[in-house]
Amino acid sequence: MTLLLILLAAYLIGSIPSALWIGKLFYKKDIRQEGSGNLGTTNTFRVLGKKPGIVVMLMDILKGTAAVLLVFIPFFADVAIHPLLLGIVAVIGHMYPIFASFRGGKAVATSAGVVLGYAPIVFISLAISFAIILKLSKMVSFTSICIAIIAFVYSVISYFYTGDWVFMLMIAVLATFIIYRHRENIARIKNGTESKVNF
């Protein structure tokens, strides 16, 4: 029973539709009806602006982190579950949130939060890489896909030193989520029609 509760908690945390709630509460906008229609950081920046975009990004990151850290709550102390599995469940909640008709984001920020909760140094390295690639490419989607691949390659290399096969497997799952959720962006990148950000 406690196992089911912790899995449910992880899903519900991931299901918090930060972009939707902030848009409706403070800007009277449903960002699902504007821009790309996606409930994620990029569309929040596009539709609502820089400040709410930063807030949504941080909230979405922290959803993943909070899910990973659920294992440290005393009530769940006796549950035998790997924290990264809870992170995966939170990301599923982010992509298919019960609080937003199962229409969510593309898994990038919440996946980053999972990495932050489990391997903070890796998160920092990936965040720096994200900033550099985004600066060069000016495409959030392309950058997100690149970081997903980089993270997976790192996890494979890390496995040979640490033996942490769970980390490698979970990163593979998260990378798959991210690439799958960006399949339409991939088509636009190939066609040269993908949107670019202005700094």
Looking at every residue in the chain, the average pLDDT score rounds to 93
pLDDT at 77 over 90: no
Q: Evaluate whether residue 101 is within a structural domain.
A: yes
- Could you tell me if residue 104 is inside a domain? yes
38 in a structural domain: yes
> Is 114 part of any domain?
yes
Question: Containing domain of residue 56, as a range?
Answer: 2-191
- Phi/psi for 92 (5° steps) reads -60, -40
Looking at the predicted structure, is the pLDDT value of residue 160 above 60?
A: yes
Residues 49, 24: contact at Cβ < 8 Å?
no
| pLDDT above 90 (res 165) | yes
Q: What is the pLDDT of residues 126-147, one digit of tens each?
A: 999 999 999 999 999 999 999 9
Model-level pTM?
Answer: 0.93
pLDDT of 157 strictly over 70:
yes
196 found inside a domain:
no
Residue 174 domain flag? yes
Q: How confident is the model at residue 199 (pLDDT cuts 50, 70, 90)?
A: low
Number of structural domains found in the chain: 1
Given a cut of 90, whether residue 125 has pLDDT beyond it is yes
Measure the CA–CA gap between 197 and 199, rounded to whole angstroms: 7
Q: Is residue 199 part of a domain?
A: no
